[in-house]
Chains A and B, each alone.
Chain A
Amino acid sequence: MAKAKNLYIIIIGCGRLGSFLANKLSDEGNSVVVIDINSRSFDALAPDQFSGFKVEGDATELATLKQAKLDKADVFIGATHDENVNIMAAQIAKNTFDVPKVLVRILDPSKESFCLATGIECICATIIAAEKIMTLLKEK
């Protein structure tokens, strides 16, 4: 991420991935909004790193996304544990709110081509882990 520009980033899901990204990106000086359906998930945000906003709500509800000012966002990251929620919210971000950069984390490798077909950039955690393991195995 270019340091020069302060980005407005919306992250849905404040689990391991979401909170990790929120802490890091906020610490780097970006404006970060985290959305999670359960307010207790926000406990994972580190007070010394995270200085953004928290929105408690369902990311598949248009009202929640509007509350987070999705129309102003530069980046949208789908990081909930439910990949369908990530895929749906990402498409809303891209098509309804014209967010320039939309990234989602998925787990099921068979959904990768589907995500590409709907026009969203996806990161399949399973494929990445598997490839890393395969590379390490071949090294030995």
Chain B
Amino acid sequence: MNTLIIGGGKIVYFLARAFFSKGYNVTIINRKREECSWLARRLKATVVFGNATDPQILKEAQTSSMDAVLAVTPNDEDNLVICQLVKLNFGIQRTLALVNDPDNEKVFQQLGITTAFSTTHIISSIIEQRTALEEIVGLFSVAEGKVNITEVILPNESPVLNKSLMEIELPENSLIACILRDNTPIIPRGTTKLYVLDRLILITIPENHGQVLKFLTGSTV
């Protein structure tokens, strides 16, 4: 896979290294000369010096041969223009942009960027959801944050104890995907009953996440 990363700093360096370990080809565009030579010395990436919002520089970086383009500069306007340029001028379908202002995440998606991610948003939602309930041991988001996968332990006060999945009315758009009981995974069916200290792997969406957790654990988020 050919990838093009635009930006600088540690994020680009470590992204490039992670991509190499997966066997991807990496091209980097950076607008600082010293940083370009620093990156070129440490990575076996093709490093192009220049402003990536200039179509000519994108051409030099062989953009049309890329499978994915990632724009991770600290400027939202540059990330947006880069992703739109590679899509419109070079026909690249997979574009990822870092969004510094979390409000712009939706805007970017409306403007045709395949994946727009905001670090502020990701970090704050992890903190929020982790601190909300101590029974939650793990949480991560998939599909651009549209789906949550959570691990939750059923406490003594849980209102669903000793009931089967058929009996409880789990809120819509949520699923108990797996139950870990005494370290044995069980893929539940309607007749499977829930017991105290069961570890549930839950699939929820951000809109009903709190509601589902409250439903299963009895505590208020």
Contacts and interface: CB of A to CB of B under 8 A. Distances in A.
Contacts of A89: 77
A95 B108 CA distance: 11
A96 B105 CA distance: 12
A41 interface: no
A91 B109 CA distance: 12
Nearest to A108: B54
A114 B55 contact: yes
Interface string B73-90: 001111011001100110
B77 A88 contact: yes
Given A60-B76, A84-B53, A84-B75, 16 more contacts: A60-B75, A60-B77, A60-B101, A61-B104, A62-B107, A84-B78, A84-B81, A87-B81, A88-B76, A89-B77, A95-B107, A96-B110, A110-B56, A113-B89, A114-B55, A114-B84
Interface of A: 60-63, 82, 84-85, 87-89, 91-92, 95-96, 108, 110-111, 113-114, 117-118
- Closest 10 pairs (CB-CB, A-B): A62-B103, A88-B77, A84-B77, A84-B81, A85-B77, A117-B88, A110-B55, A60-B77, A88-B80, A60-B76
Contacts of A82: 77
Nearest to B103: A62
B85 A114 contact: yes
Contacts of A61: 101, 103-104
B110 A95 contact: yes
A61 B76 CA distance: 9
Contact of B84 (A63, A96, A118): A118
A82 B107 CA distance: 19
Contacts of B142: none
21 contacts: A60-B101, A60-B104, A61-B103, A62-B104, A82-B77, A84-B53, A84-B75, A84-B78, A84-B80, A84-B81, A85-B77, A87-B80, A88-B80, A95-B111, A96-B107, A96-B110, A111-B53, A113-B89, A114-B88, A118-B88, A118-B111
Given A84-B81, A117-B88, A63 B54 contact: no
A91 B88 contact: no
Contacts of A62: 101, 103-104, 107
B80 A63 contact: no
A110 B111 CA distance: 21
